[in-house]
Structure 1
Amino acid sequence: MQDSRHHVPNPLRPYYVPPSIGADALPNATSNASKPTSSSSGFTFPDLDYSDYIPDGSPSLTGSIKSYIDQAFWKYATVVLGQPFEVAKLILQTRVAQDDELDEIPKKRLQHHDQEEVQLNGFDEYNEEHSSDDEPNYFTSAAPFDRPFSSRSPARGRRGRPSRESASPRIPDRHQKSDGRIHLKNPHSLLDTLSALSSTDGGLAMWRATNSTFVYNILTRTLETFLKGFLAAVFAVAENDILSGSAGGAVPDTSILSSTTPLATILLSTSAAALSALVLAPVDAARTRLILTSSNEGPRTLLGTLQTLPTPYLIPAHLLPITFFTSTLPTLISTSTPIVLKSYLGLDPAMNPASWSLATFLGSAVDLSIKFPLETVLRRAQIATWTSPSYSSPTTSSKRKIITTIVPVPQSYRGVLPTIWSITREEGFSESQKDKTAALMGKAPRRKRKGQGIEGLYRGWRVGFWGLVGVWGTSFVGGLQSNTEAASAEAGVHGGKF
């Protein structure tokens, strides 16, 4: 006989409704009130269809391997497509401005005049060598026919003319100097840099250090993710919050808005980015050297280049401050941008999609404007590791040698602020737009000012800016499309009701 307690409402639980499933298991319940019932263990549930919630089963080993291979191929293809622009940007950032960069037109005229002078000198030498003193006098009866010998007689061709090698000197390539370095007509042009590089070292020179860049990107993402999870476990922060607040993209991630501890998420994300950048700084420095040296400058492998560091496989001491600032400040700005927009400006990505997209674009532009000067200083500090003899340790100074780069690079590194001051106030010359206009109109002579100004800190900025525009435009169009589809679906639902 079934226990009546399961059919009569319990006065202690007046709103409890006994389940209708598993009624056959009720006789198994005992009448002892002190003994816990186990009626729920005998409930029988009907077959439920979970196909809508779990569409696919567990992936097989072959499917997992294929997925990893596809992701690796896609990331490597991304690196290959963007490597020429990365190479051009790095060359522009590390190149030391020359004092005569503003005198391009007079320099071209001077080069043309020098070439004409060389050609005229060649023909003067030819005329001097073939003067009338070398010719026999056929109208003198007393003099015997004796052709004088001249040691300066040039090699003659088939018709007695001097050969091309002696008549016209060889003019060197306009992109290459005598020391193997490339010459740039415009020190701020990416296309001119790629053209000069490909004309001197071949088309494959634009893809230097592609494998090293791919390895560096993979190691950075892997190590940063690991450090985020480790720090989240140490400081008792939800792992989903710290991992979702990643700042790796050009547009800030809005998933940090759902974090229960946004301040801790920002600090831990910034700390993970700084630690991973410090650990992988030798790899980044080796990548910089492989890009800025010609194919004849060995070694050309990543491991071989790491062994040429003053402290092999470890970050040099002079790279610690600039690497720390380059990794922390942009990450801090990018991660905290969504919090600032929602807390202080009252913007919401769901309620104000257009305003939110525009605000995040401006925030990313601010992030890029701070990141580029720091990255310029970082690249110069990295290449100074091999060009400055002051960074050689006593144990390796006899084995290391000063390398030859494809562009003029700094021979020493004095620090973050001194390098910024040197670029803006001491290196090369600059000319304001007002002076340029006045000089073109003939109202005033050209005025050159010492130093490149702020513009010298933003060489190659178009690479980062156009990348930001592309990512932001894609996300903006995708957001508009999703909002349009949601509005259409809502209109269809209301139309069906009426």
Structure 2
Amino acid sequence: MEEIKDSSILRPYYDPETFNVGYSAVFQNDKGVIDQNGLNIASKLTIVNQSVGSGLKSLNRSLSGGNTLTELTTGLKNKFLHGIMNSKHGNNAKSLNDLEWNDFINVNVWRHLLERLLRQLSSKYFQHLIRQPFEIAKLLLQVGDFDYLTDGNKSAYYNDNDNVNDNHEFEDDDDDEAEPNFFVNESQANLIERAAKEEQGVADENGTLIKPASIHTIDILNSIMDKEGIQGVWRANNTEFIYNFLSISLDAWFTGLLSPLMQIPDPYFIDIIHSPDVTKSASLILLASCMTRLVLLPLDLVRVRLIISSVRNDGSLSDNDRSLRKLLRKWSWRENISKLNKELVFLNILYSLVGTGFSKLTGAILYHQFNVDKFTNVILYNTLKFCSKVCELFVKLPIENLLRRSQVKFLFTENPFQVQSEMLIIKPREYQSIYLTVFKQCDRISELWRGWRLGLLSILCGYGLKILNKPSEILEEEKF
């Protein structure tokens, strides 16, 4: 029996356009579900017209073809922006990326956006306030000369001949049977005062030098508090916050600028482990970090200048300008780029490469070399990241120490940020070059790791929080 392929032969009386058995809605192949008036029911749904329509159009574009990498990058970018603008005001609150034309004149939408921005800004600033005093203490320990606090070490400005003469003049004081002399003449008073100043390491004519009881962080902060009050503990606070903000912003801008030229996705939107070319992505991350560090070099110098100088501005200190705006106006790359020391530029690049390499490339190495990621091996991944951060701490601290000393040395040369010795709150450690510091002063090499206890404690606290907390944010991501 021959198969009948055309169903119209069996029902010649059937017309799909006019056939109706009394239903309130019928389905037509080309129009969908229509009512008795011939109108499409889907067109009556306002929620489809307003919200789903744009989603269906983007879905149709993605299904009909197009650049898969572009669609993926855009989707992750939307998710990234939505995460930044995440709200606790309920389902009606919109993120910055979800704004429509009618939302631009809606006061409530803008109020919610501003509230979220202020909340996140205040949270970051509060974290910065907690960390700032410890950063100040660490920098002062790195660049300061505190030999008078350590047993067996003499100050670089201590003269052995003066020591012999002083002992000769005060040799009678060692006799226990001698009567105490409560009255001293003028020469003896000057000698005692000079000896006290040499014990401090440098003459403190303006009384700006701090005198900590030890080289521990708490003692450094206490000495700053005693000398300059609460303002001294949070010195250069706003400059530090601006530097951190610009560092993140410029790094993201450089990666977004260079990623299309290198034909790779932006690492800020697509994780490096999902990049089609991991080598190019890693090179882009390191290059952007170095460029950011060099662009912000003047601001970093201003930050160091504000930390090592006194906050006093009562006219007793000459040229003690602590205005970030005024100091940056003095800087000109055209005039001052030739004054930059090659070691200063090299240490900035090396410091950036080490920090970025450990912090941003560890995850890619763990995934591609050991098949460990944060989705399926949470505890192992965090443990290996902890080990990486510990290694980063002990590798980066000596480089940071040398960089800070090089910056202080540059600040004493003729430049727009030049600092005078009477403005300092510490006696600076003598620094000549990397070679002399590392290879010629082997007995002082341990000083390059000052501040490691505080850094290790911070890493331990961060590791403990990641282990104890449930990784809900990780489970929400899709591993592909």
Scaled by the length of structure 2, the TM-score of the pair is 0.64
1:407 aligns with 2:456: no
Three-state SS of the structure 2 residue aligned to 1:451 is helix
Q: Kindly provide the CA deviation profile for residues 59-108 of structure 1, in whole angstroms up to 9, marking residues without a partner as x.
A: 51222222222222222222211111010000011124638832389x9x
Q: Which of residues 97, 112, 119 is equivalent to 1:70?
A: 119
CA 1:423–1:93 in 2, change beyond 3 Å: closer, same or farther? Answer: farther
1:356 alignment partner in structure 2: 381
Q: Which of residues 100, 109, 128 is equivalent to 1:79?
A: 128
1:452 alignment partner in structure 2: 444
CA 1:175–1:99 in 2, change beyond 3 Å: closer, same or farther? Answer: closer
CA 1:268–1:294 in 2, change beyond 3 Å: closer, same or farther? Answer: same
1:88 alignment partner in structure 2: 137
Aligned AA for 1:218? Answer: F
1:58 aligns with 2:94: yes
| Residue pairs, 1:20-419, within 5 angstroms | 22-24=32-34, 44=43, 55-58=91-94, 60-96=109-145, 98=147, 101-103=150-152, 123-124=182-183, 178-179=203-204, 180-187=208-215, 189-239=216-266, 242-244=267-269, 255-296=271-312, 297=317, 298-306=320-328, 317-318=340-341, 319-387=344-412, 389=413, 392=414, 402-404=420-422, 405-410=424-429, 413-414=432-433, 417-418=434-435
Please give the alpha-carbon distance, in whole angstroms, between the structure 1 residues aligned to 2:258 and 2:330.
33
Please give the alpha-carbon distance, in whole angstroms, between the structure 2 residues aligned to 1:338 and 1:350.
12
Aligned AA for 2:408? Answer: I
Please give the alpha-carbon distance, in whole angstroms, between the structure 1 residues aligned to 2:428 and 2:332.
19
Q: Kindly provide the CA deviation profile for residues 362-404 of structure 1, in whole angstroms up to 9, marking residues without a partner as x.
A: 11212222221111111111111122x3xx36xx7xx956434
Once the two structures are overlaid, the 10-residue window that deviates more, 279-288 or 458-467, is 458-467
Please give the alpha-carbon distance, in whole angstroms, between the structure 2 residues aligned to 1:328 and 1:18.
64
1:146 alignment partner in structure 2: none
Please give the alpha-carbon distance, in whole angstroms, between the structure 1 residues aligned to 2:28 and 2:369.
51
Please give the alpha-carbon distance, in whole angstroms, between the structure 2 residues aligned to 1:80 and 1:312.
35
8 Å contact from structure 1 (residues 277, 327) kept in 2: yes
Please give the alpha-carbon distance, in whole angstroms, between the structure 2 residues aligned to 1:104 and 1:378.
24
RMSD: 4.7
**Larger helix share, 1 or 2:** 2
Residue 234 of structure 1, CA deviation: 2.6
Please give the alpha-carbon distance, in whole angstroms, between the structure 2 residues aligned to 1:178 and 1:273.
41
Please give the alpha-carbon distance, in whole angstroms, between the structure 1 residues aligned to 2:233 and 2:14.
84
8 Å contact from structure 2 (residues 212, 222) kept in 1: no
Structure 2 gap segments, 5+ residues each: 1-12, 20-26, 56-89, 96-108, 159-165
Please give the alpha-carbon distance, in whole angstroms, between the structure 2 residues aligned to 1:350 and 1:400.
51
8 Å contact from structure 1 (residues 257, 339) kept in 2: yes
Identical residues among aligned pairs (%): 20
Please give the alpha-carbon distance, in whole angstroms, between the structure 2 residues aligned to 1:279 and 1:264.
22
Q: Which of residues 467, 477, 481 is equivalent to 2:468?
A: 477
CA 1:401–1:467 in 2, change beyond 3 Å: closer, same or farther? Answer: closer
Q: Kindly provide the CA deviation profile for residues 223-260 of structure 1, in whole angstroms up to 9, marking residues without a partner as x.
A: 11111211123323223xx1146xxxxxxxxx433334
| Residue pairs, 1:6-17, within 5 angstroms | none
Aligned AA for 1:337? Answer: T
1:33 alignment partner in structure 2: none
Please give the alpha-carbon distance, in whole angstroms, between the structure 2 residues aligned to 1:478 and 1:19.
53
Please give the alpha-carbon distance, in whole angstroms, between the structure 2 residues aligned to 1:72 and 1:176.
43
Three-state SS of the structure 2 residue aligned to 1:344 is helix
CA 1:24–1:382 in 2, change beyond 3 Å: closer, same or farther? Answer: same
Residue 282 of structure 1, CA deviation: 0.7
Aligned AA for 2:240? Answer: T
Please give the alpha-carbon distance, in whole angstroms, between the structure 2 residues aligned to 1:201 and 1:422.
32
Please give the alpha-carbon distance, in whole angstroms, between the structure 2 residues aligned to 1:368 and 1:230.
30
| Residue pairs, 1:479-494, within 5 angstroms | 479=470
CA 1:338–1:22 in 2, change beyond 3 Å: closer, same or farther? Answer: same
8 Å contact from structure 2 (residues 259, 265) kept in 1: yes
8 Å contact from structure 2 (residues 93, 112) kept in 1: no
Three-state SS of the structure 2 residue aligned to 1:294 is coil
CA 1:209–1:424 in 2, change beyond 3 Å: closer, same or farther? Answer: farther
Scaled by the length of structure 1, the TM-score of the pair is 0.62
CA 1:43–1:182 in 2, change beyond 3 Å: closer, same or farther? Answer: closer
Q: Return the index of the structure with the highest Cα Rg.
A: 1
8 Å contact from structure 1 (residues 282, 314) kept in 2: no
Please give the alpha-carbon distance, in whole angstroms, between the structure 2 residues aligned to 1:284 and 1:125.
49
1:13 alignment partner in structure 2: none
Three-state SS of the structure 2 residue aligned to 1:348 is coil
CA 1:190–1:409 in 2, change beyond 3 Å: closer, same or farther? Answer: same
Structure 1 gap segments, 5+ residues each: 8-16, 29-38, 127-151, 153-164, 246-254, 427-449, 487-498
Please give the alpha-carbon distance, in whole angstroms, between the structure 2 residues aligned to 1:206 and 1:244.
38
1:439 alignment partner in structure 2: none
Aligned AA for 1:300? Answer: R
Please give the alpha-carbon distance, in whole angstroms, between the structure 2 residues aligned to 1:313 and 1:80.
35
Three-state SS of the structure 1 residue aligned to 2:268 is helix
Please give the alpha-carbon distance, in whole angstroms, between the structure 2 residues aligned to 1:99 and 1:90.
18
Once the two structures are overlaid, the 10-residue window that deviates more, 267-276 or 257-266, is 257-266
Aligned AA for 1:463? Answer: L
Three-state SS of the structure 2 residue aligned to 1:93 is helix
Aligned AA for 1:62? Answer: R
Please give the alpha-carbon distance, in whole angstroms, between the structure 2 residues aligned to 1:220 and 1:276.
6
2:70 alignment partner in structure 1: none
